[in-house]
Amino acid sequence: MRRVITGVVGGNAVFLADGEPSNRHEYAGWPGHMTSVIWATAATPALPVSLGGEPKPGIVVSPAPGETRLMLVRFPPDSIFADPRFDGPGYAAEAGVHLKGLIDAFEPDGNGMHRTDSIDYDVVIDGEIWLELDDGVETCLRTGDVVVQGGTRHAWRNKSAKDAVMLFVLVGAKRAD
């Protein structure tokens, strides 16, 4: 993955970064799963952009109200859960480091259901993935499809035989209930 960041130095637009994000993580416990928080903003972002605000490994993924997170996620096929290489406790330990805040939103029974205090703009970049809501209703999403996730209880299911890649923009929100 290549990430390009622009900013202003001496009054001129410049490339501040061009390369891999510093916090991309490939999970040993869940082979094929990858996450990367590509960028994060404060509740009131400042311009010009600087690399001082670049998300570092261990960033809290769940944004506070008004903050944003831009995140890329690769979901391997769900069949990996039956593979002996899948290590639930190992994945949980990795997620505690690389998905701080977000992993806490997941239900403890391992069903993948979770609810965040954010409005999420979710784009399927490659592949096919199913979005399941708390009533068990599902919809299949394909490359180019977009979901606006409004703080609902949901899970992502990759029922296909190939990886699915999604881009998420999380906008921290305050829950009314």
Mean pLDDT of the chain: 94
Q: How many domains are contained in the chain?
A: 1
- Examine residue 1 and state whether it is found in any structural domain, yes or no: no
Q: What is the torsion angle, in degrees rounded to the nearest 10, for the CA atoms of residue 119, residue 67, residue 73 and residue 58?
A: -140
The token duo for 159 is 């029922």
In terms of residue numbers, what domain contains 43? 21-172
- Examine residue 12 and state whether it is found in any structural domain, yes or no: no
- Examine residue 177 and state whether it is found in any structural domain, yes or no: no
The token duo for 152 is 């609902």
**Residue 137 pLDDT:** 97
Residues 19-43 have a mean pLDDT of 93
Bridge partners of 12, per DSSP, are: 9
Chain segment 146-160, per-residue pLDDT in tens: 999 999 999 999 999
- Examine residue 11 and state whether it is found in any structural domain, yes or no: no
CA atoms in the 13 A half-sphere facing the CB of 173 = 17
The pTM of the full predicted model, rounded to 2 decimals, is 0.93
Q: Which CATH number belongs to the domain containing residue 141 in this structure?
A: 2.60.120.10
- Examine residue 15 and state whether it is found in any structural domain, yes or no: no
Q: Percentage of the chain with pLDDT > 70?
A: 99
Chain segment 61-105, per-residue pLDDT in tens: 999 999 999 999 999 999 999 999 999 999 999 999 999 999 999
**Residue 53 pLDDT:** 67
Give the Cα separation of 115 and 73 in Å (integer): 17
Report whether pLDDT(120) > 90: yes
- Examine residue 4 and state whether it is found in any structural domain, yes or no: no
